């Protein structure tokens, strides 16, 4: 039989104590890595997820109310809003084209979940209203992070999602798009419009 005093001494030995901590850290990292799969974004070819967002005046985003339109959805926060500015400018030019303009919808959704408290919410709404006035298009707000979660998006990263007329996800990319990816999004918007 092992003496209880020796057992306690062994547990408190620095090598044993540190290896236990190291094992716990490895376990925590493994759990976090497996949870990362939840942030893979929408799967191409599947129906778009159902998610809610509202503009600063309380008007709800309803992608189902855009029948027959190809939707290019941008999900960004204030730090990533300019990451894909070139694509946004190209899409705005495409919307002015009579052949495609009425059949392409640009839907920006702002991740404002970190400002969902008083008084920050007031200032966030004011900033979004300023951007609406600047660009002339409605910007929706994700105040709770539920929109981001429904689409499987990572926080603090620019996201571009193209949704076809039938509601299928045609394209998804996080981060800055390459010139080839910008052309692909524009081609999808033209082909499906």
Radius of gyration of the chain (CA): 23
Q: E strands within 57-127?
A: 70-76, 104-111
Q: Which residues pair with 108 in a beta bridge?
A: 74
CA–CA distance, 141 with 192 (Å, rounded to integer):
26
Residue environment code for 90-102, b if the CB has 16+ CB neighbours within 10 A, otherwise e: bbeebbeeeebee
pLDDT at 99: 74
HSE value, Cβ hemisphere, 13 Å, CA-based, for 85: 7
CB 137 within 8 A of CB 106: yes
DSSP for residue 76: E
The pTM of the full predicted model, rounded to 2 decimals, is 0.79
Which pLDDT tens digits describe the chain residue by residue (193 residues)?
Answer: 556 566 565 556 555 555 545 444 434 434 344 344 456 899 999 999 999 999 999 999 999 888 889 999 999 999 999 999 999 999 999 988 867 778 899 999 999 999 999 999 999 999 999 999 999 999 999 999 999 999 999 999 999 999 999 999 999 999 999 999 999 999 999 986 5
CA–CA distance, 109 with 141 (Å, rounded to integer):
6
């Amino acid at each position: 039989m092992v003496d209880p005093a020796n057992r306690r001494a062994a547990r408190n030995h620095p090598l044993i104590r540190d290896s236990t901590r190291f094992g716990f850290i490895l376990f925590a990292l493994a759990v976090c890595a497996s949870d990362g799969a939840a942030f893979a974004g929408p799967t191409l070819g599947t129906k778009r997820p159902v998610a809610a967002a509202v503009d600063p005046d309380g008007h709800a985003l309803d992608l189902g109310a855009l029948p027959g339109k190809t939707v290019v959805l941008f999900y960004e926060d204030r730090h990533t809003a300019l990451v894909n500015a070139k694509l946004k400018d190209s899409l705005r030019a495409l919307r002015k084209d009579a052949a495609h303009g009425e059949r392409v919808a640009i839907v920006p959704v702002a991740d404002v979940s970190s400002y969902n408290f008083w008084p920050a919410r007031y200032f966030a709404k004011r900033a979004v209203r300023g951007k609406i006035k600047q660009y002339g298009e409605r910007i929706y707000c994700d105040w709770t992070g539920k929109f981001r979660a429904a689409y499987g998006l990572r926080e603090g990263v620019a996201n571009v999602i193209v949704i076809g007329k039938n509601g299928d996800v045609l394209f998804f990319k996080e981060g800055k798009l390459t010139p080839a990816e910008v052309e692909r999004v524009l081609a999808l918007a033209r082909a499906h419009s």
